Amino acid sequence: METQALTQADPILLAGSPVDGNILTWMERFLRVCRSRNLAQGTLEFYIKKLKGFTGFRGSLSIENIRQITPDTIREFLVFLEEKGHKAAGVHCHYRAIRTLLPWYEFEVEPDDWENPIRGVKAPIVPLEPLDPVSIETIQLLIGTCKTDSLTNFRDHSILLFLLDTGVRMPELLSLNKEDVDIFTGTVIIRSGKGRKPRNVYLGDRSRQLLRRYLKQRQDFDPALLITKSGTRLKQNGLQMMLRRRSAQADISAPSPHDFRRAFALERRQAGVDILRISKLMGHTSLQVLNRYLKQAGEDLERAAKMSSPVDLNCRRQE
């Protein structure tokens, strides 16, 4: 869906008359600038959704002018989100959208009699809670439902292995074309990574061979790497429905595509790959989220620490 269509369909984000300081006017101008910069569709939709939440809240306070926003306004909004059941990470996302909008407005207008209120509001703390990955046992059960040699089974089996082997995001997987995968080396070019940053990921031999069998059976000319039964590019709903269907067949709870990404990080770390390389493979710009994934490895860290205790090792040498 086009971003312009989203804003036109939603009156809450439509610009009013060009009155100086009108919140809706400046939000619409901000979104136009984002579009002119050719930001990723996901980024544009992020700003639209989060700023929509803020405009709804400021309406309840009868705030029409952007200069009426105070640090307390922003704090009350963050508390409001928390009371409505938003998780800490979700509250932080709303804060980030406001933190981007207000400095942009300040840069555009250069007001002499206005102090940016976001400077007085510290970012909400997001606890580094462990994020559960899909287990290898669960993946094996899902693969067990893809036994017969049909095109759909080859596709679904390939998807399961592809997600675990590469750790790609769901939109990255679904946007891949056949030309993006070197079926002989296993190198995959992610052209539409987060923030429009391309990177390479790599398939292991088993994943590469299975994907090759799937592509060899295809009789269509669609450039998409993954297609539906009707021959069109597989979309987000189709992938999620596949996981739910396979999970029902295996009589287990359905994992999300992102759960495979977490499993990728944990399995790579346990295999001895350093954090920086894992981060690059996953397309992370910081290690914060990766650290949440890898907190699952706490038992392994404890075991490694005990086995390599300098004191214990020295005592054994002296015995």
Residue pLDDT, tens place only, 113-143:
889 999 999 999 887 666 678 999 999 999 9
pLDDT of residue 58: 86
What is d(CA 38, CA 277) in angstroms, rounded to the nearest whole number? 28
Q: What is the pLDDT of residues 283-317, one digit of tens each?
A: 876 666 566 666 555 555 555 555 556 665 566 66
Any idea what the CATH number is for the domain that residue 65 is in? 1.10.150.130
Q: What is the pLDDT of residues 185-204, one digit of tens each?
A: 999 999 876 767 789 999 99
Considering the domain architecture, whether residues 57 and 172 belong to the same structural domain is answered as no
Residue 203 maps to a domain: yes
Tokens of 210: 């299975």
Residue 128 maps to a domain: no
Q: Return the bridge partners of 190, or none.
A: 199
Considering the domain architecture, whether residues 154 and 235 belong to the same structural domain is answered as yes
Considering the domain architecture, whether residues 279 and 141 belong to the same structural domain is answered as yes
The kind and range of the H/E element at 202 are: strand 199-202
Considering the domain architecture, whether residues 188 and 258 belong to the same structural domain is answered as yes
The kind and range of the H/E element at 80 are: helix 71-83
Residue 22: how many CB atoms within 10 A of its CB?
A: 16
Indicate the pTM of the whole model.
Answer: 0.67
Considering the domain architecture, whether residues 152 and 245 belong to the same structural domain is answered as yes
Give the residue from 120, 149, 182 where a domain finishes. 120
Q: What is the pLDDT of residues 223-278, one digit of tens each?
A: 999 999 999 999 999 999 999 999 999 999 999 999 999 899 888 888 888 888 88
Q: Rounded mean pLDDT of 80-87?
A: 93
Residue 308 maps to a domain: no
Total domain count, the chain: 2
Any idea what the CATH number is for the domain that residue 156 is in? 1.10.443.10
Range of the domain at 256: 136-303
Contact 66, 137 (CB under 8 A): no
Residue 312 maps to a domain: no
Phi, psi of 181 (to 5 degrees): -115, 125
Considering the domain architecture, whether residues 111 and 163 belong to the same structural domain is answered as no
CA distances from 77 to 30, 47, 51, 53, 92 (A): 20, 16, 11, 9, 11
Position 135: which residue type?
S
Tokens of 202: 């790599």
